[in-house]
Amino acid sequence: MFNNGCKTIGMLISGVSSTFQKFLCKELTDLCLDMGYNLAIFNVFGGSSYEDVEAYAVGETNILNLIPYEEFAGLITVPDTFVSKSLRNKVVETIKKRVTCPVVSVRTQIDGFYSLVIDNTVAMNDMISHFIEKHGKTKIAFLNGPKDHPEAIDRLTSYRNTMAKYNIPVREDWILYGDFWLNLGGYYADYYFKDKEKSEWPEVIVCANDYMAIAVCDECLKRGIKIPEEVMVSGFDNLPETMSCYPLISTVEVSISDIAKKCMDVFNRLEKGEKAEPVQFIKTEDFYRASCGCKATDIMMIYDSILVLRKDYASLFNSTRGSTYMSVSLQSLENYEEIRDVLFNSRERFRSLFVCIMEKAKGKAKTLAPRKKGYSKKMRCIYGHYNYKAVDDSVFDTENIIPDNVACEGPVQFYITPLHYQDNTYGYVVHSYEDGVCFDREFQNWMVVMGNAFENIFTKIKYSELVDELNNQYIHESMTGLYNRRGFDILSQQMYEQSIEEQKRLLLIEIDMDNLKRVNDLYGHSEGDKAIDVIADALKKSATQGEICARVGGDEFWVVGYGYDKFKMDEYIARLKANLEEFDSLEAKPYRVEVSYGVVLTDPCSGITLEEYINIVDTRMYRNKRDRKKKKKNFEE
């Protein structure tokens, strides 16, 4: 995989731009590259609830159908990052069905996988004990995550067990379920403090993660509720953001570097033929800060954190501005070939970038081929650069993930993300950053812009095809597929004007079927229609030099040929007669398909109009019909 002879570790994760996921990917990247492994990170961007955006979820989770599970030396997954329980189950089921290599599950214990877990049933014990023993608090509330989230369930158990250890009754009305995010601070504060006497307030709010702790602290600050004097707060995860808010938040840290090392240790042991522990616990460490009253808030620490956040904000602002400009540029594109020029302007953002799409044949051309499920066996890389060097447009086997003409130098790390609009999957994007650079938080927006652009182009293509089809119906008649009167009028006029300009002669032939009424009356209209089709087929078969053929009435046909002379005219008429006679000889019909015709070769210097030529041809056709009837009558007598 990746054409470099290195074994590849696969990773399946959701929401890689979130803090934990981002730093875990960075730690694993550093370890894999140092140890000579490739790392392929397949990312699904999560939302607050997949059920709320079902079509978007379909497009995101289609990446499960892309992953070459059988190619990995090992696979790492973080199931609890997938927001939806049904999606988590789908990920686990897919891995169990497809994967033959060792699998490490991070933060969730799964039968059949090597599991690295936080013992969440005890992880918060020391923090809660600290509030009780160090600060003498007993009125302790618990702000939990989503009710069905595995970590939320275990951390609630830790809370209950610790309270029971100290014989402190648990108030069920002080257990509140949140969203593991920053949005609901007002709701939390209202629940615990609004319209209540201070004596009814909890003394401590233990939060199941840092984001909710930050939300509580921010809302308390707005309402004049003093932390830690009136209420103490703690979090979990030790995110960088806990050092940039006021007050600094007491929290529990999960060692991300320990997770990464244990993951790779499992693979190394197994490769050597040694045993690896099926379940290992991840190190945690408590940090007691100002929100529990142990340390005064260090303004310089906050300032240092703010400087980091400013740098992140500036990077995010530049990325957002770049995505906005890119979105404007992409809106005007008429076809996906043009997208390369826009992507070229993003080349400095990524060390390597490959935009790979699915196509299908459309005549001699190619067009986009979005799918609701799965990926095609072949992909086309419409834009690529590797280590900042351009990669030629190419088609390759999808299972290889990147183009065959890319020879990676040593072990590499790539993120692979689905390219889609809602449930229309167009392909995927492979990218990497400069060494030491973490995942770009703006990348999700960048991918949404890309997905919108491809959908916009696809819609334009479909609209153009619809217009072409309507135009085709507008100038063609349905029975024979020949041009109709409208098509004949438009195209004959265009050809006539071109013939004047280029001093070329036109062939104009009017063909009229003999005795159509008699065939209809004696043998039925189906036979009359058959005879009409025979003439149409004979006209098309005879048109070997781009002639246009039209049916302008029930039994009236026209042919216009460009660049004709007398010899070519005679050849065409001979071909037409031969094709009609072929039908009569092969089909045992009680009637013959016969026609009368009038013909003229235009003179571009004559000054005669097209309408005048048409009248000349029409006169000649009726003269021919009259002569044929007269000849036939004389023959019968």
**pLDDT 10s digits, 393-437:** 999 999 999 999 998 888 999 999 999 999 999 999 999 988 766
Beta bridge partners of 104: 76, 114
pTM: 0.71
What pLDDT, in 10s, does the model give residues 548-569? 999 998 899 999 999 999 999 9
Q: Give the chain's domains with CATH numbers.
A: 8-101+305-462 (no CATH), 120-258+279-297 (3.40.50.2300), 476-636 (3.30.70.270)
How many CA atoms lie within 13 Å of 550's alpha carbon, on the beta-carbon side?
23
Quote the tokens at residue 596: 């009368």
DSSP state of 563: S
Handedness of CA 562, 564, 568, 572 (dihedral sign): positive
Question: Which residue stretches of the chain have pLDDT < 50?
Answer: 48-51, 637
Could you give the 3-state DSSP secondary structure of residue 319?
A: helix
Euclidean distance between CA atoms 398 and 414, whole angstroms = 15
Long-range contacts of 164-168 (CB under 8 A, 24+ apart): 165/125, 165/129, 166/129, 166/132, 166/138, 168/132, 168/138, 168/140
Predicted local distance difference test score (pLDDT) of residue 360: 84
Q: What is the DSSP letter of 363?
A: T
The pLDDT, as a whole number, for residue 331 is: 66
Closest CA to 327 of 426, 431, 443, 448: 448
